[in-house]
Every structure is written in C-alpha cells, then in structure tokens.
Chains A and B, each alone.
Chain A
Amino acid sequence: MTINPTRLHELEDMARRVRRHILTTVHAAGGGHVGGPLSATDMLVALYFHILNIDPTNPQWEDRDRFILSKGHSCIALYAVMAERGYFPVSELITFDGIDSRLQGHPDMARLPGLDMSTGSLGQGLSPGVGMALGARLRNKPFTTYVMLGDGECQEGQVWEAAFVAARYRLGNLVAILDLNRLQQYGWQEPGGMRPPLDDPRRQWEAFGWQVSVVDGHDITSFVEALSTARQESDRPAIVIAHTVKGKGISFMEGDYSWHARVPTDVELARALAELELREVQP
C-alpha cells in the first residue's frame, strides 16, 4: 500500500479541499467543530481515498471495511470526505446541522447511509467496532474494522473495557487510530496539553495487549504504511497512534484549544481560506 508522488499530491490536494469544506460549512451553519476535524482530516482522506475497501454507490455492501468515527464531534470532516468520495453530492454539505438534514451535528447512521455507527457520546465507538470485528469472524468475512479515537475521549473507561475485550478475543481484524492532538474541549490547556499517563498511550495500549505503532498523522505516506502493517498481524488488535495538531492547516487555529468548536468570523474565514490557497501553490 505505498503511495507514489502523484497519488500523494492528489491526496494532499483533497485534504486541502476537505479543510475548505470544513471551514465554509461550519461558518455557514453558524455552529460545529473545527479543531478536531482539522486534526483528523489527513487521516480521513487517506482512509476513504486509499485504504478502506468501500463502494460509495453501495454503502450497505456486506463485505465493505467498516469505519467508526468515535470522536463523533469531528463529523464535518467525515461528511466532507464522504461527499468528495461520492456518497452524496458536495452541495449537500450546506445542509449540515439544519432541520431534517442527513448531516447531523453528530453522526447518525439512521439518517446517512455510509455511516457504520452513530456516535457523539464520547468513549463509545470502539465497542461497536469490537462487535463488528467479532461478527466478521463469526460470519467468516474478510473485512477490517477501523475506529478513530480522540485522545481526550480515552479518559472514558469504556474505551478500556473495549480494549480489554478486543485483545481477549484476539481481534486482528480491528484497527484503532488515535488522533493524538493533546488537546480536548477545555481540559488542560497549557502548551503540550495532557500529562502522563495519557502522554504515553503507547505503553497503555501495549499493556492492554495491542500491537502499537506511532506515526505523524499529517504524513499521509507513513500513516498509510502504518495501517497496512497494522492489518498484517492476525491475532492482535492494532492501534496506530497518530501525532497530530489540533486545528492543523490554519496557522491561527493550530494548537489552540479555543478553536475546538468555534465558528470563524467572516474575516477569520477569509484568512483561513487564503492560507489554504497559499499552500496549494507551494506544496
């Protein structure tokens, strides 16, 4: 699953488009999250455009890979990626957070085909992932289940209940991704964010019997490589710990917890979009 330079350029381009959608959609909706979606964007693009075995025209395809965005508040990034991938028209993004929209403030699988699980109450996504991985084994299905977790979210005990059971059942078909941006909503806002033991997720997940790799979550090439290695082991669940920056891509949002769920003003939006364009001309 290596990526050639042309492909990499395309994916990076896509990530910039997605970041634009995130900012313009949240701005238009007058609500939503920004920091967490920007932190997850590169990984979501890599997953939906390069890794997941999926068919947007047949979102209920039984053998598709499953993806659960456990940090459901970052769903605007997922919606933007899904729209670009062809699950629904990009023009539908404007309905985000509106009445009757399929694009709810947190992912609602009962509304939007292609969402494999409803999330939003943090700490819950890994458990259905365990269920899907167990079910795949019972049904002899070859698909992989991926779950993206936030680092703040891992303060929830349920994550560790699921981590324990996944290892106990040797779920080699389960891959978690930790979006380790070290910030949460309010939490511990000092530079560098959290303190041990959360600063050392590698030891935590290893202690729970998981196969662990650590990458830069904004480096699509190494992220993709880490995921393909993660899938190779057949009797241990794997986690890719991805170092990320909350608000990634917009200089004045990066590393600032206050952009967790702040709506950019018109001026801020213009500045942000200009930054994204600048990056486009000098890759």
Chain B
Amino acid sequence: MTAVKALREAWGEILVEMAQTNPHILVLDGDLASSTRADIFADAFPDRFLQMGIAEQNMAGVAAGLATLGFVPFISTFAAFAANRDLDQVRVVIAQPRLHVIITGGYSGMLTGKTGKTHQDVSDMSVFRAMPYMTVVAPADAVELRQALQVMVSQPGPYYLRLTRDPAPIIFDEGYRFGLGRGVVLRKGTDVAILSTGVQTVRCLDACDELESQGISPYLLHLPTVKPLDVEAIVRAASETDAVVTAEDHTIIGGLGGAVAEALGEHRPTRMRRVGVKDVFGESAPNEPILAKYGLSARHVARAARELIGRES
C-alpha cells in the first residue's frame, strides 16, 4: 500500500515544522484556512498567522509590505483567486520589486471538491509563467513539496506554489532532491515520452503502467517547475523517443504543454500531443467523472501516447 497525503495538509504541517526554526515565516489567509489547511499553521503559530479577511488584493499588498521587512509571507487562498483576483497587485508590488512572497494556490486545477467553475483554476500556471520574475512550482507529492518549500523559503524572490486538494500517493522517496528548473526522469523508455507536472505525474505513472502492459516503452519526465523550465531534460526526452506527450491538470494553452511546445519548437521540433483542459471551464462533479469528461485521466494520457506513435487500434 502506498502512502497517501493531500498536498494542502502536507503544506500546513511542513510550514509548522519550518517555522519552528525560521522566525520569518508568516501565513496570510483570505478566509479559507479550514480548506487550504492554513489552519494547521494558525493553531501552531497564532501570532504569525494573519487573517486578512476576504480581500485578496489587500492581502497581496500586505504580504509585499511584510516582505520588505525581511519576513517570508505565504499568501494562502484558492488558486482561482490567487491567480486572478489579485493579479495587478502581484504584478506591481510583488513581482516587479522581486519581493520574497510565496503565493500559495490551494485547490488548483479541476479537482476542487465539487465547487465548480468559479473555484476551479486551469490557467494559473499560464498566468504566472507569463509574469516576469515569477517562479512557478507544482510539486507531485508531499515529499517533493517539503523540499520545494525549503528551497523557496531560502531563495528570495516571488513564487507561485500550486497545490491540490485531494489525497495523493507519495511517489518520491526521501532520497529525492528537488531543484528549481530540474526535471526528474521517472521511466526511461524509448517509444514515447510523457512530460508532466504537479500531481498529474501520479496519473502519468499509471498511464506508463498501462502502456508497458501493452508492450510500449514509455519515458516519463516530471517537471516540478514550469518556470524555470528544464529545457535540457525536455530535449533529451524528445531525443530518446521522437514523440512527446504533455499532461497537466490545467489548460493546454500556456502552461506545461505550451512551455514544452515552445522549447521543442526552438530546440528540437518533435511531434507532440498536449493532454489537459481544452480551452473550457469546468463544472462541479466528483473527481472521476471530471477526469473522464475533461480528458485528464491516466487512460487519456496513455491513449494520447498510443495515438501519437500510431499504436492506437
């Protein structure tokens, strides 16, 4: 049985641990702590948990002000609000002066616990990737998240951290080393490369199992940061297989799929398929029907891989 942990819960717990030795860490909440699990931090450090109310634009500005005093503030709200409601504030007072603020988008992607399109965000990575100076981090599991947090807290600058709501299997062991702009090869096949980010990588591992059972040899590259992007690893994956499928719980425009297409277009044109949300908003429903309807499941990834290499019957 693999261990399972929701990224939001891991985030709250890891921050509490880190805050014990790092007095600069603060958490600002947009009245969602019980969902985002910032409440774990609030319980442990009530004085370092700042309730900003339902006012995300102000929250971004307050975080900027705190950052100028040497604090490391986490802004915590849903991805849908973090990447939309406060965007001009993030641009002007966080990104432009390169302040050390970690914008934490909980409940990213389509799987937001039956809240529907207002609370789903499928363009957060595109939006923040396009914003100068912003680093975009989407960990696959709690182990990677822990390491990513250590890097983000110790290296100043503006970050967008993409988290998800539901329990997800732990896929990395404790020996794993996260690096900004460093992809990780999880399968070393030769027929087709699957490139993914965030928790979607877990579903891609299942897709690889399916492909292998059909006699297809998949390469799997996990990219925890769409910016900076590990172009070298992407080109290597393309060179090994001559066929690249990207997969993300996010729009195929401008996020991982867009970034990979741009990189390969410039450095090694390669046939491609982008698996992700196809320029539509979502709806409220349980996870499985959502993954099935919007083409995000492991089976969709596997099918796209077979189609790309002409092995779909």
Contact = CB atoms under 8 A, between A and B. Distances in A.
Nearest to A137: B47
A65 interface: no
B115 interface: no
B55 A165 contact: yes
Interface string B78-118: 00000000001101110011100000000000000000000
Contact of A161 (B53, B64, B96, B97): B53
B134 to A, nearest CB: 14
B96 A130 contact: no
A93 interface: no
Interface string B14-26: 0000000000001
A161 B55 contact: yes
B65 interface: yes
Contact of B69 (A136, A157, A161): A136
Interface stretch (A118-126, A182-190, A233-241): A118-126
A162 B68 contact: no
A127 interface: yes
Contacts of B63: 131
A261 B46 CA distance: 47
Contact of B50 (A116, A134, A158): A134
B52 interface: yes
Chain B CB within 10 A, most for which of A108, A128, A138, A158: A128
Main secondary structure of the interface of A (DSSP, over half): helix
B239 interface: no
A138 B63 CA distance: 13
Interface in B18-77: 26, 47-48, 50, 52-53, 55, 57-69, 71, 73
A141 B70 CA distance: 13
Contact of B62 (A118, A127, A136): A127
Nearest to A116: B68
Contacts of A162: 55, 58, 61-62
Interface string A43-66: 000000000000000000000000
B65 A134 contact: yes
B62 A130 contact: yes
Interface residues of B, number: 30
A127 B68 CA distance: 13
Contacts of B61: 124-128, 130-131, 158, 162
Contacts of B91: 121
A61 B231 CA distance: 41
A141 B66 CA distance: 13
Given A119-B92, A127-B57, A132 B66 contact: yes
B96 A117 contact: no
A120 B57 contact: no
Nearest to A111: B97
Contacts of B26: 138
A124 B64 CA distance: 11
Contacts of A274: none
Contacts of A110: 96-98
Interface in A108-167: 108-110, 116-121, 124-136, 138-139, 141, 145, 157-158, 161-162, 164-165
A134 B92 contact: no
A138 B50 CA distance: 11
Interface in A75-104: none
A108 B58 contact: no
A108 to B, nearest CB: 7
Chain B CB within 10 A, most for which of A108, A130, A135: A135
Contacts of A116: 68
Nearest to B57: A158
Given A130-B62, A132-B66, A136-B69, A118 B53 contact: no
Given A131-B66, A136-B69, A164 B92 contact: no
Contacts of A279: none
Contact of A127 (B53, B65, B96): B65
Contact of B68 (A117, A121, A141, A161): A117
A208 to B, nearest CB: 13
B66 A127 contact: no
Contacts of B89: 121, 124, 127, 158
Contacts of B57: 124, 127, 157-158, 161
Interface string B249-261: 0000000000000
B65 A118 contact: no
B97 A164 contact: no
Nearest to A145: B65
B47 A128 contact: no
Given A121-B89, A127-B58, A157-B57, 20 more contacts: A108-B96, A108-B97, A117-B64, A117-B68, A120-B92, A121-B91, A124-B57, A124-B93, A129-B65, A131-B63, A131-B65, A131-B67, A131-B69, A132-B65, A132-B68, A133-B65, A134-B65, A138-B48, A161-B58, A162-B55
18 contacts: A108-B96, A110-B96, A110-B97, A110-B98, A117-B64, A118-B93, A121-B91, A121-B92, A124-B92, A128-B65, A128-B68, A131-B64, A131-B69, A135-B66, A135-B71, A139-B69, A158-B58, A158-B89
- Which 8 pairs show the lowest CB-CB distances between chains A and B? A131-B65, A127-B61, A128-B65, A161-B55, A161-B58, A135-B69, A131-B62, A131-B66
